[in-house]
Amino acid sequence: MPFVWKHLSVALGLSVGFMALLLGTSEEIGYARDEGFYFQAAASYEAWFSLLFSEPSHALHGEVVARYWQVNSEHPALMKSLFALSHHFLYAKWHWFGTAGEAFRFPAMLISALGVGVLYLWGSETIGAFAAFTAALLFGFMPQVFHHAHLACFDMPVAALSLMTAYAYWKSLRHRSLFGALGVGLLYGLFLNTKHNSWLFPLVALAHFALLNHKVWLAKASGLQHSLRFPPALLGMLVLGPLTLYATWPWLWFETLPRLSAYAKFHLGHEYYNMEFLGRTYWKPPMPLGYAWLMTLATVPLVTLALFTVGLVNFARSLLPRSMQSVGVLRSLSSKLASIPLGSPTSAQLLWLLGVAVNYAPWWSSETPIFGGTKHWLTAYPFLCLFAGTGVRRIHARAQLLARSKTERQGFRVLLFTALLLGPISMTWHSVPFGLSAYTPIVGGASGAANLGLNRTFWGYTSRSLFNEINALAPPDARIYVHDTALQSFEQHRQEGGIRPDLEGTLDLAHSNLALYHHEPHMARVEYQIWSVYGTVRPVAIKLFDGVPVVWLYRRP
C-alpha cells in the first residue's frame, strides 16, 4: 500500500474507532444544559431549511431569515445547521438513529472523531507513525475531551477545526498552491462559523509567519534585498474565511455589520459566571491567574503532560544553542528560526507551540471569565498532544537503543504503548458518564478535587443518571424541578423515553413533586429552597462519582 494511503487508512481507522466509542457511550451521557438550547436552535434552522427547499424566495426574505435564525444568534451557525440537517435526514427521514438526540449529536461526534484522525495524519508526516498514533490516542483519551466530544455543542468541533485549519495551513506552506490557499480559506471560514475561539487563529498564523520571516523584515529595514516568503494561504484565510462565514450563516445576510457587531460584543463583554476554584467561587475580576494551569494539571493525564514537556524541551533544544550566553542565544535562535523551511516538520512544531500558547493566552489575563472551565482551552489540546507525540518519539528512540533484535524492538514498542496509554484510557473510560467531574490522581482524583474545592460539575447533564429513580419515585403526572438542566434537554429525554411520558420538567420548585439538585457552591441556595419547600433535608437518591456526590434528588413527603 502506498505510504499516503497507509496513513490515510490508519487515520480513518482511528476516526471510526473513536466514533464507535462515542456512539457506544453517548446514551449514558445526559443532555447538557447548552445542548437543550442548541436543539431548540437546530429545530428552528431545520424549519428554515425545509422552507428553503419548498419556497426558496420566501425563505430568503429578510424578515423570514431573521425569524428562523435569530434563535441563539449569539453563536455561529455551522454546528447547529449540521445538527439540523442530521436530525432532518439521519433521524426523521432515513431513520439511521433511534433518537433525535443522537442525530443532533452526530455531527459534533463526527468532527471530533475526524480531529483524532487528522491529528494522526499531521503527526505521521512530522514525528513518525508510532508517535503520531500514540499522540492521537492521548488526545482522544483525555477525560474532558472524550466527554465534550459527545455533545451537540461547539467545544470539541472548534478544537478539531482549529487543528484541521492549522494542518491545512501548514500543508499549504509546503505546496504554495492556489488550491491549497483556497482550501485553507474555506476551512477557516467553517472554523469561524463554529465558535469564537477561531478569532485567535490568525494570531497563530501571523506569529508563525513573522517568526520565520523576521530576518527578511530586519534586512528590509536595513535596506537589503530579501524576498518575503508570504504564504498565499494566509491571504486566503483572511479573505475567504470571512466570506465563507458570511455565506454559511444566513443570520448575517441582512444587517450584516450590526449583527456581526452584536455577536462580537456578546463574547467580548460576556457576563461572568460563577466558578469554584480552590474553595472559592469566582464571579468577577480579578480571576485567578493560576486557573487554567492548575485545571490543566488536574484534568489532563500526567503522562500526557510529561510527554508534552519532553516534546517541548526537545523542540527548545533544537532551536537554542548549548551555551546560554544572552546575545549568542538570541542570535542563534534568530538564525535557526530563519533557516526553518516553511513546510518542514520543525515549522509544524513551531505552529503547534504557537497553537498552545495563543489558545492559552486569554488566561494570562485576570479579566478573562473562567466560566465553563477547561472546555475553553480545549483548542490547545490537539497541539499539546502533538508535542506529546514528539516526546513519545524521543522516548521510543531511546528504548529502541536497548533492543537487540526486531522482536525486542516490537516488544519495547508494545510495552511503551501500553505504559503510556494505560492510564489515559483507563481514566477516560472510568469517567463516563461523569466526565466533567473527573480529576487526575495528581490532585487525588474526584475526592481530592472536592477536598481542594475544585468545580464538581456544571451544565446539569448528570440528571440522566437519576432517571431510573425519578421514574420509580414520581407519582402520576408529577412535575420534576430540573434545576440546572435546561427544560429543553429534559424534554428531549422525555420524548426519547428516558423519562416517563406523564412527567413534566419545571423550574417552579414550589409546585414540583420531585427536585433535582446539581452541586456547585453558588447553587447551594437552591438546595436550601428545596429544604424549605419540601420540609426535608434528606435526598431520596444520590449519585456519586468515586465517592463524591454529584447530583441528588428530593421528593416532597
Partner 1 sequence: MLRRWWWLLVLAIGPLEWVAHLYFAQRAPSFLEYRALEPRLRALKRSGDILLVAPEWAEPIARAALGDGWFSERDRGRLDLKRYPRAVVLKSLGQEAREVQSFRVVSSEAFGRFTLEVRENLGFEPLRADLAERISPATLGVALVLDSGERLACSWTTQAAVQAGGLAGPAAFPRARFQCPGGSERFVGLSILDDQDFRPRRCIWAHPPDNGYLELKFQDVPFGGHLFGAAGLTYLLTRDGAGADVQLEIWGEGKLLGRHLERDVLGWQPFAMALPARGSGSSFELSFRVRSEEASGRDFCFQAEIR
Cβ closer to partner 1: 84 or 142?
A: 142
Q: Which of 237, 287, 298, 420 binds partner 1 (CB under 8 A)?
A: 420
**Closer residue to partner 1 (CB): 288 or 448:** 448
CB of 523 to partner 1, least distance (A): 6
Instruction: Out of 51, 91, 552, 555, point to the residue binding partner 1 (CB under 8 A).
Output: 552
Considering the complex, what minimum distance in angstroms separates the CB of residue 540 from partner 1? 7
Nearer to partner 1, 306 or 403 (CB): 306
The verdict on 29 binding partner 1 (CB under 8 A) reads: no
CB neighbourhood size of 258 (10 A): 9
Q: How far apart are CA 51 and CA 64, in angstroms?
A: 10
Cell of 158: 472548534
Binding residue for partner 1, selected from 43, 121, 385, 526, defined by CB under 8 A: 526
Rg (CA), the chain: 25
C-beta closer to partner 1: residue 34 or 46: 34
Kindly provide the b/e burial profile for residues 15-25, where b requires at least 16 CB atoms within 10 angstroms of the residue's own CB: beebbebbbeb
List the one residue out of 159, 75, 116 whose CA is nearest residue 378. 159
Selected range binding partner 1 among 119-127, 150-158, 331-339, 514-522, rule: CB under 8 A: 514-522
Q: Does 303 bind partner 1 (CB under 8 A)?
A: yes
Reduced to 3 states (helix: H, G, I; strand: E, B; else coil), residue 507 is coil
SS3 for 410-472, per residue? HHHHHHHHHHHHHHHHHHHHHHCCCHHHCCCHHHCHHHHHHHHCCCCCCCCHHHHHHHHHHHH
Q: Which residues contact 357 (CB under 8 A, 6 or more apart)?
A: none
Q: What angle do CA 96, 101, 106 make, to 5 degrees?
A: 60
Distance between CA atoms of residues 112 and 149, nearest Å: 6
Residue 546 Cβ, how far from partner 1 at the closest point, in Å?
Answer: 5
| Binding of partner 1 by 416 (CB under 8 A) | yes
In angstroms, the Cα distances linking 527 to 451, 459, 533 are 20, 16, 10
* One of 44, 248, 281, 334 touching partner 1 (CB under 8 A): 281
Indicate the helix (H) or strand (E) that contains 77.
none
Give the nearest distance from C-beta 536 to partner 1 in angstroms.
6
For CA atoms 479, 485, 488, 490, give the dihedral sign: negative
Identity of the residue, 242 or 521, whose beta carbon is nearer to partner 1 in the bound complex: 521
Of residues 212 and 310, the one with the C-beta less far from partner 1? 310
User: Looking at beta carbons only, is 101 or 424 nearer to partner 1?
Assistant: 424
- Nearest approach, Cβ of 54 to partner 1 (angstroms)? 41
Q: Could you say which residues in the range 348-407 bind partner 1, by CB under 8 A?
A: 391, 394-395, 398-399
Pick the closer one to partner 1 by CB: 256 or 426.
426
Task: Using CB under 8 A, count the residues that bind partner 1.
Answer: 64
Nearest to 131 by CA among 426, 419, 416: 416
Single residue of 65, 113, 446, 474 touching partner 1 by CB under 8 A: 446
448 near partner 1, judged by CB under 8 A: yes
H-helix or E-strand containing 504? Answer: strand 504-506
Q: Is 286 in the site for partner 1 (CB under 8 A)?
A: no
Point out which residues pair with 548 in neighbouring strands: 545
Cell of 116: 483524532
Toward partner 1, which CB reaches closer, 501 or 547?
A: 547
Smallest distance, partner 1 to C-beta of residue 402, A: 10
Whichever of 468 and 536 has its CB closer to partner 1, that residue is 536
CB of 403 to partner 1, least distance (A): 14
Helices (H), 55-177: 56-59, 62-69, 78-85, 100-126, 129-140, 143-148, 155-175
- Is the Cβ of residue 349 or residue 440 nearer to partner 1 in the bound state? 440
CA triple 308-158-154, angle to 5 deg? 125
CA distance 24 to 352: 31
**Positions in 530-549 near partner 1 (CB under 8 A):** 530-533, 536-542, 544, 546-549
Applying CB under 8 A, the residues found at the interface with partner 1 are 281, 283-284, 301-303, 306-307, 310, 391, 394-395, 398-399, 416, 419-423, 426-427, 430, 440-441, 444-448, 450-451, 456, 483-484, 507, 509-510, 519, 521-526, 528-533, 536-542, 544, 546-549, 552
